[in-house]
Amino acid sequence: MELVDQFLRKINYLRISVTDRCDLRCVYCMKEKMNFLPKNEILTLEEIDRLCFNFIQLGVEKIRLTGGEPLVRKNIIELIKNLNEKKQNTNLKEITLTTNGTLLKNYAKSLKENGIDRINVSLDTINNDKYKKITRFGNLNNVLSGIDEALKYNIKIKINTVVFKNFNEDELFDLIEWCNNKNIDLTFIEVMPMDDTDMPRNMQFVSLDKIYKKLNKFYNFKESEHKTGGPAKYYIGHNLNIKLGFITPLSNNFCASCNRVRISSTGKLFMCLGQNDYVDFREIMRNDRGDSHIKEKIKFALSVKPKRHDFIIDPKIKPYIKRHMNVTGG
């Protein structure tokens, strides 16, 4: 079975947040003093597993677990183990994870043993002082040792770097060379106008068009056919062993090829990261509705999935998206 939306885009990729909590407070993601949700508002692991299974039965082939920070969720390995077992007799081909890497050293072995062969690590700087500044209290060494541990278990890593105005623009060549030496692919991401943190979004945003032109003069990029299922456009370049990706929701809209939907930690299915409309599956499941009703609601959600996001960054306009990134997940 195939899931398609109203614009006949094939939807085969589900991103599901397992928690809104995180052990960091990255300045573009959330406020320093966050009010996290009561635990009874967060989906149980059983509810997450049930939702995922319904999506798999409708044609989803790839599931990415996100947060907050997914590895702070108690018993997360049990969920991954249950999902991994579904690969044997369903359409599911891959389970993957986006993490800040702080707990990766403790979890790498278990992740590999339970079918996680590829992960994204969010890392915006390899400078100790700057890392502490952007995460507010993080320890870079924990992340770097976690990355090394994951590589030891042959987990393929991709680094995700948000390019942040007046913060890491001068460090991009260093990040590329560091990743190149470790044979780790790297993706640069534009700041997205989710709900305001402690700094207005227009004070954070850098267009990756400008960054691409600067890097291209040195690396002489050629477009790669490499695809990971997400929105990144990848390039290979002179003296690079790795692929370099760019995720540009504002400077180069990529909605025409969208193949994914997101479920928040509270069970809200957002048909688009850049829209506010949702279907509430927590209420559906807790009102004891059956799986056939869940599937009907999934199909309905896709029948109204919008053509594109409404992201805009303008100093005169407050963010249209009224939720922080840790609520929906990356």
Question: For 46-73, what is each residue's pLDDT tens digit?
Answer: 999 999 999 999 999 999 999 999 999 9
For residue 158, which amino acid is it?
Answer: K
Mean pLDDT of 258-263: 86
Per the CB < 8 A criterion, the answer to whether 57 and 295 are in contact is yes
Q: Is the pLDDT of residue 200 over 60?
A: no
Residue 4 within a domain: no
Count the helix, strand and coil residues of the chain and give each as a percent rounded to the nearest 5: 35, 20, 45
More confident residue, 258 or 234: 234
On whether residue 177 sits in a domain, the answer given is yes
Q: How many domains does the chain have?
A: 1
Q: Which two tokens stand for residue 156?
A: 């393929």
Q: What is the pLDDT of residue 168?
A: 92
* pLDDT for residue 308: 52
**For residue range 135-187, what is the model confidence (pLDDT) as tens digits?**
988 999 999 999 999 999 999 999 999 998 888 999 999 999 999 999 999 99
7, part of any domain: no
Q: Is 313's pLDDT higher than 50?
A: no
For residues 296-316, give the mean pLDDT. 69
Q: Identify the CATH number of the domain in which residue 196 sits.
A: 3.20.20.70
Banded pLDDT at 265 (limits 50, 70, 90): very high
Residue 219 lies in a domain: yes
Q: Looking at residue 9, what is its pLDDT?
A: 85
Confidence of residue 311 (pLDDT cuts 50, 70, 90): very low
> Would you state the pLDDT for residue 323?
43
Residue 274: pLDDT band with limits 50, 70, 90: low
Dihedral angle, C-alpha 316, 321, 325, 327, nearest 10 °: 140
> Concatenated DSSP letters for 10-50?
B--EEEEES-S--S---TTTS-SS--PPPGGGSPPHHHHHH
Read off the pLDDT of each residue in 8-15 and give the average, rounded to a whole number. Answer: 91
pLDDT in the model for residue 195? 53
pLDDT at 272: 73
- Per-residue pLDDT at 324: 47
Q: Is 210 helix (H, G, I), strand (E, B) or coil?
A: helix
CA dihedral sign of residues 82, 85, 90, 96: positive
1 assigned to some structural domain:
no
pLDDT at 271: 75
Residue 42 tokens read as 């967060």
Query: Domain limits at 24?
Result: 13-328
Asked if the structure places residue 3 within a domain, the reply is: no
pLDDT of residue 238: 94
The mean per-residue pLDDT over the stretch 294-303 comes to 92
- Among 99-108, 145-154, 180-189, 269-278, the minimum mean pLDDT is found in 269-278
Whether the per-residue pLDDT at 197 is higher than 80: the answer is: no
pLDDT of residue 273: 60
Residue 210 located in a structural domain: yes
Residue percentage of the chain with pLDDT more than 90: 63
pLDDT of 6: 82
Indicate whether 253 belongs to any domain: yes
CA torsion sign for 107, 109, 111, 114 is negative
Mean pLDDT, the chain, whole residue set: 87
